[in-house]
Structure 1
Amino acid sequence: MRRKARSIAAACLAVCAGMAAQAAALPAYAAGATLVVNVAAPFRPVTHAASGGLYGLAEGNRPPDSMLLPVHPRNFTQPAPGVQQRPNGQPPGGDSLLVAPQADRTGAGVVIRMPDIYPDFPYRWVSWNDWLAKVDTQVSARLAATSVSNIEGYELWNEPDYTWNTSAAGAFNAGWVRTFQRVRARDPITPIVGPSTSYYNATYLRSFLTYARDNNALPDVVCWHELGQNPSSIAADIAAYRAMEQSLGISPRPIAINEYAGTAAVDVPGTVAGFVAKLERGGVDSADRAFWYEYGTMNGLVVNGGQPTGTWWLYKWYGDMSGNMVTTTPPSQTGLDGFASYDPTRKIVNVVFGGESGANTVRLTGLGALGSTVRVRLESTPSSGRFTQVAAPTTLSDTTYAVSGGQVSVAVPSMAAGSAYHLVVQPTSGVPSYQQRYEAENASVFRAARLGATSASSGAYVGRIDNTGDFRTDSYVDFAVNVPAARAYTMRIGYANGSGATATQGLAYNGGAWSTVSYPATGAWGQFGSTVSTSVNLRAGFNVIRLAKGSPYFAGGTGYAELDYIELT
């Protein structure tokens, strides 16, 4: 659970599901482990799936955009419109509709947590008339906010296995269906998220899914929490859910883990590296850092109003990733683990790892495309806690390695289990000074689809960019780009348009005025090589560029175009 008010005994019972309580101190794992990174084995595009936060935003632009843009937040789960919830005794805050514009500026979506209309936790049930009236009020508020396009779903309840009052409200499964139907009667479009249990409970989830399936009330996104002090159960939980889903004849749902990492883990970069690694390998659609402490800090990533903690640097390294996530194989489900990406355009490999002490090794395979020698930079960030600023990571080494048989083994001496580490592997020459090409599939994608094609740059693209004219179906792609200087840039767009006629999309950046991009017809859908160019005036540092078929303040594009990449020169 994300609030300290819950007792340690109850938290262990719900989160650990009967396992022995774990001490806050980091476990002492045996040294000498090896993490294997197969650069030639991509498994999905980089989407920064686990970079979000529960209650990550507070009104007043806290934390500032400058601290959010580098970590590429995937989404935020925020309290209900008109929030009354007082987590950890704080005043109500983080109203989903009020903070949505800041999330939008950073390319992030927002999920509305509906029961946070109640002030107490566990939620204090009043009556069905009271609850349904509150549901109606929230949905009406969302429908009235026609300029907010980044709402990704309604979370109907939170941790029903702990907070649902069965004696007063009846069985949760029936209550879910009743609430689901109430929302759908007023809003048949916005996705519904649930059941958001406090941990992965197969028996509970099977009962819920069966009842929801039989009553035409399945969630669009399946959600539960992973709040242990280490992430060792995540891989098994995700695999068990996928098997259950199939056994029940339910089509595959996106998975959201909208609270992850317990109190002794969430501010420990070495442990967080294992959480992110397992969430990425499990293929979750989104995952949010748990909320345990203060609003406005992105759950401990930011201190003193806008300075990075040690854990922020881990998420910044995550945010630097582009191209495709590539396979990492840890020695076990505990201890050393990490996640990695390879961008074939820039020819850069990023590996983030931790969770082990002593002398360990990262073995990289599949490096043939990087040449016979590579430059390997190794840096670290400490487990400094949420109140200590860490101005920069520490560079540990910067070395040239010979590549033998497509492999390099990097020894990492004197690791601290609480610290996280970052390897950057590049060819010794020919690397651009900044990331010029930005893949559409790595961008923030709203109501469109990431698809694969052999002719696409990095093997993937974004298609099905469409809208119906209803603001809830606005369809667009947000590219967060980082440029070295304020100036005009030529932006080349790789695309496909198999419609036989010219298509158009809207172009805006940093919330500015809209212009129109035209895409002449190409040979076929999903066959890339064609480009169009336009000019954009960008500020130094981060900018967000939007290409849209539909978006707030843009009347809508015409025809259809699929996006491969943008390139700035």
Structure 2
Amino acid sequence: MPKPTLRTAIAVSALAATTLVALPPHSAQAAGSTLVVDAGVPFRPVTRVAAGGLYALAENNRPPDPMLLPIKMHTLTQPPPRVGQAPNGQPPGGDALLVAPQADRVGAAQVIRMPDIYRDFPYRWVSWNDWLAKVDQIVNDRLAATTVSNVTAYEIWNEADWTWNTAAAGDFNAGWTRTVQRIRTRDTVTPVAGPGDSHWNPTRMRAFLTNAKNTNTLPDLVVWHELSGSSGIAAHVAEYRSMESSLGISPRRVFINEYATTAEIDVPGRVTNYIAKLERAGVWAADRAFWYEYGTVNGLTHNSQPTASWWLYKWYGDMAGNMVRTTPRAQTGLDGFASYDSTRRRVDVVFGDESGTNNVRVTGLGGLGGSVRVRLESTPGSGRFTTVSAPTTIANTTYPVTNGEITVPVANMSATASYHLVVEPTSGAPSYQQRYEAENASVFRAERLSAGNASNGGYVGRIDNTGDPRSASYVDFVVNVPTARSYTMTIGYANGTGATATQGLAYNGSAWSTVSYPATSGWAQFGTVNTAVNLKAGYNVIRLAKGSPHFAGGTGYAELDYIQLT
């Protein structure tokens, strides 16, 4: 994307006072839009695909870990080692290998944007000898960083549709092939990402994929940007999937590594709309676009404190279980995303991008009893330079459940604000989350799988180790506990090898220990083992690994279903 000079903060209206009124069953709904949430219709596990950022971190731990752990970041796109890029007049920063320890501590994967070895944007092409020497240097530096295991891919170029110097460098598709082939002379393991166009362009994408298939240089992650509003995201992804299939290409992971414009990125209501559409489209990951300074997750923090937008991502980070279907009235205006955690019997809905009085209808609540507790809160559209210490609680009340559903009207909504609705049983809800599903965790080089007998319907398998930090498998659980103490950690697992398997266990930088998994009756046939973990109050990161830096590797094979802390 273009890197403009810093603009003044967007002027936004103050969040109007908002009230919630309990409706009697079958009463007429208020005028306005209705977002329908089908809590009984899951469509993917919670992985927080849109909790990512371009140039989100700086080398000196900006923002600090306490600002990152609650939002459970999925993916970062960072500059390469020896970064030259000087965005918006700032000194070069964000070197992927230098921020790697912090990214690792918070469970985030990284993609290295290779052309940011150049200082200027648009990039100033020098020569093929110069570029290939830089590619060699980036790859060699990455290979030398033997304790870095969270690099997910090399992004070959950025916005080639307008930054590639065709006159000097020749056709981009040929240049892609030449660059990938050069990388593979040194690194045959790390995936590649591209083409990275500034917007969805089916003509360019078809030509790119055709060439990449013919030259055996297909990207592992297919990248483009969504910077022209959110309404086209579903159609773009669907068109890509159709194109992929028509060309005989196996499904790739779609990575939208820049989303939201300068006028949208700091507006929680608009960003909520983006996240909703990215989730429903089934992308693998998406990163907040970079328009200002690095080291703030692009406006989620200011002076290491949360802005209003941070709370939107905190609500996203609190989701667990499965994402469930949301249906807006139209592609513009009111939209949202939602989850259902079957272990807590809790529905979370985040919605916004509409003003006036609107409704959220939640169906599929028959299992929660005849009445439910409903909490509604909001975060304002107050911009990137105003810190917000907590969301505003609007209402906390009880609703009758009729025919398995409730309708919640929300009056005086501000289109710039985002709203959070929590629906849970009136009794029996745990005071804190105790079960953490493996498929909701940060999964590195293993696979999320499904099974009817798995907790919440999902688990993680194909956990392997080659002794190489680029290909070893591990799962990071970001957990939040109320007090510092020793907890019993129950691990749900399956081991179909017929013999005991082992994995490494570490948390919060502690020394590694070994967990043993006796054989179960087969793969996806689950048992449990218990161990003790000493956790601090608040957020902790627990890693279970077949292979990981500073851990030589486990033995045999085991699949992970969940961990539970009691």
- The two structures share one fold, judged by TM-score above 0.5: yes
TM-score of the superposed pair, with normalisation by structure 1:
0.95
Matching residue's letter, 1:537:
N
Deviation at 1:399, TM superposition (A): 1.1
- Give the 3 Å change call, closer, same or farther, for CA 25–381 of structure 1 in structure 2: closer
Cα 1:5–1:244 change in 2 (3 A) is: farther
Instruction: Report the alpha carbon displacement of residue 3 of structure 1 after superposing the two structures with TM.
Output: 1.2
Pick one of 537, 561, 565 that aligns with 1:564.
Answer: 561
Opposite residue 195 of structure 2, the aligned amino acid is P
| Structure 1 residue 286, shift from structure 2 partner | 0.6
Preserved contact between residue 31 and residue 357 of structure 1 (Cα < 8 Å): no
Report the Cα offset of residue 24 of structure 1.
9.6
Asked if the contact 1:453/1:527 (under 8 Å) is kept, the reply is: no
Cα distance between partner residues in 2 of 1:61 and 1:2: 26
The Cα of 1:477 is off from its aligned counterpart by: 0.3
Tell me the amino acid that sits aligned with residue 230 of structure 2: P
- SS across alignment from 2:245: helix
Partner of 2:549: 552
Question: What is the aligned partner in structure 2 of residue 289 from structure 1?
Answer: 288
Superposed CA offset, 1:129-181 (max 9, x none)? 00000000000000000000000000000000010000000000000000010
Residue number among 395, 398, 401 corresponding to 2:396 in the alignment: 398
Contact 1:357–1:415 (Cα < 8 Å) also in 2: yes
Helix, strand or coil for the counterpart of 1:266?
A: coil
Identify the residue that residue 106 of structure 1 maps to in structure 2. Answer: 106
Q: Is the 8 A contact 1:358 1:416 kept in 2?
A: yes
Deviation for aligned residue 1:469: 1.3
Distance 2:271 2:127 in 1: 40
**Paired residue type of 2:237:** I
Equivalent residue, structure 1, for 2:531 = 534
Write out aligned runs for 1:399-418 (5 A).
Answer: 399-418=397-416
1:246 corresponds in structure 2 to 245
2:16 aligns with none
Alignment of 1:4-403 (within 5 A): 4=4, 32-228=32-228, 230-304=229-303, 306-403=304-401
Alignment pair present for 1:444 and 2:480: no
CA contact (8 A) 1:2 1:259 kept: no
Alignment of 1:493-532 (within 5 A): 493-528=491-526, 530-532=527-529
Change (3 A) 1:265 1:256: same
Q: Tell whether the 8 Å contact from 2:491 to 2:530 is kept in structure 1 after alignment.
A: yes
Residue 468 of structure 1 aligns to a residue whose secondary structure is coil
In 2, the alpha carbon distance for the partners of 1:511 and 1:291 equals 30
Question: Could you list the runs of 5+ residues in structure 1 that have no partner in the other structure?
Answer: 8-22
Is the 1:2–1:291 Cα contact (8 Å) retained in structure 2?
A: no
Distance across 2 between alignment mates of 1:220 and 1:308: 34
- Identity over aligned pairs, percent: 71
CA positional deviation for 1:103: 0.5
Question: 2:193 is aligned with what amino acid?
Answer: V
2:456 alignment counterpart: 458
Q: In structure 2, what is the Cα distance between the partners aligned to 1:111 and 1:287?
A: 12
Structure 2 residue matching 1:362: 3-state secondary structure: strand
Distance 2:138 2:31 in 1: 52
The separation in 1 between residues aligned to 2:114 and 2:149, in whole angstroms, is: 18
Output one character per residue of 1:22-76: Cα deviation in whole Å (capped at 9) or x when no partner.
x9989xxx97000000000000100011000000000110000000000000010
Q: Is the 8 A contact 1:224 1:257 kept in 2?
A: yes
Contact 1:232/1:333, CA 8 A, preserved across alignment: yes
Equivalent residue letter for 2:53:
G
Q: SS state of the match for residue 185, structure 2?
A: helix
The higher-RCO structure (CA 8 Å, 6+ apart) is: 2
Contact preservation (8 Å) 1:506, 1:557: yes
CA distance in 1: counterparts of 2:302 and 2:539, whole angstroms? 21
Amino acid aligned to 1:49:
V
- Work out whether residues 461 and 565 of structure 1, in 8 Å CA contact, stay in contact via their aligned partners in 2: yes
Q: How do 1:422-441 residues align onto structure 2 when only pairs under 5 Å count?
A: 422-441=420-439
SS at match of 1:70: helix
Structure 2 CA distance for aligned equivalents of residues 547 and 272 of structure 1: 33
Check the 8 A contact 1:2/1:290 in 2, yes or no.
Answer: no
Matched position secondary structure for 2:404: coil
**In structure 2, C-alpha distance between the alignment counterparts of 1:440 and 1:287, rounded to whole Å:** 21
Amino acid at match of 1:381: T
Asked if structure 1 preserves the Cα contact closer than 8 Å seen for 2:446 and 2:463, the reply is yes
Cα distance in structure 2, aligned partners of 1:414 and 1:5: 35
Q: What TM-score do you get using the length of structure 2 for normalisation? A: 0.95
Does the 8 A contact of 1:503 with 1:519 survive in 2? Answer: yes
Partners of 2:281 and 2:361 in 1: CA distance: 22
Q: Which residue of 1 aligns with 2:20?
A: none
Supply the distance in 2 between the matched residues of 1:39 and 1:226 (Cα, whole angstroms).
28
Secondary structure at the counterpart of residue 471 of structure 1: coil
Cα separation, 2, equivalents of 1:523 and 1:502 = 12
Q: Within 2, Cα distance between the matches of 1:427 and 1:84? A: 54
Aligned-partner Cα distance in 2 for 1:222–1:84: 25
Deviation at 1:111, TM superposition (A): 0.5
- Taking the aligned partners of 1:446 and 1:511, their CA distance within structure 2 comes to 18
Q: Is the 8 A contact 1:25 1:264 kept in 2?
A: no
Q: In the TM superposition, what is the alpha-carbon distance from 1:2 to its structure 2 partner?
A: 4.8
Q: Structure 1: which amino acid aligns with 2:157?
A: W
Q: What are the Cα deviations for residues 217-264 of structure 1, in whole angstroms up to 9, with x where unaligned?
A: 110110000012x31111111111111111111111000000000000
What amino acid is aligned across from residue 533 of structure 2 in structure 1?
A: V
Q: Secondary structure at the match of 1:458?
A: helix
The letter of the residue matching 1:36 is V
The equivalent of 1:17 in structure 2 is: none
> Which residue in the other structure is 1:15 paired with?
none
Which of 533, 540, 543 is matched with 1:543 structurally? 540
Structure-2 separation of matches of 1:560 and 1:455: 19
Distance (whole Å) between structure 2 residues aligned to residue 184 and residue 485 of structure 1: 48
Displacement of 1:376 after TM fit?
0.5
Paired residues of 2:12 and 2:381 also in contact (CA < 8 A): no
Cα distance change on mapping 1:557 and 1:110 into 2, 3 Å:
same
Q: Match of 1:469?
A: 467
Q: 2 CA distance for matches of 1:348 and 1:426?
A: 5
Tell me how far apart the structure 2 counterparts of residues 471 and 61 of structure 1 sit (CA, whole Å): 23
The alpha-carbon distance between structure 1 residues 127 and 321, as it changes in their structure 2 partners (threshold 3 A), is: same
Where in structure 1 do 4 or more consecutive aligned residues deviate above 6 Å?
A: 23-26
Q: Is the 8 A contact 1:35 1:338 kept in 2?
A: yes
Q: Determine if contact 2:223/2:257 at 8 Å carries over to the other structure.
A: yes
Mapped to 2, the partners of 1:53 and 1:263 lie a distance apart of 14
**Amino acid corresponding to residue 235 of structure 2 in structure 1:** A
CA–CA separation in structure 1 for the residues paired with 2:252 and 2:295: 31
Kindly report the root-mean-square deviation, in angstroms, between the aligned alpha carbons of the 2 structures: 1.4
Contact 2:38 2:326 in 1 (8 A): yes
- The one-letter amino acid of 1:101's match is P
Check the 8 A contact 2:496/2:521 in 1, yes or no.
Answer: yes
Q: How many residues align?
A: 548
Deviation of 1:368 after TM superposition, in Å, equals 1.0
Residues 376-407 of structure 1, C-alpha deviations (whole Å, 9 max, x = no match): 00000000100001111001111100111111
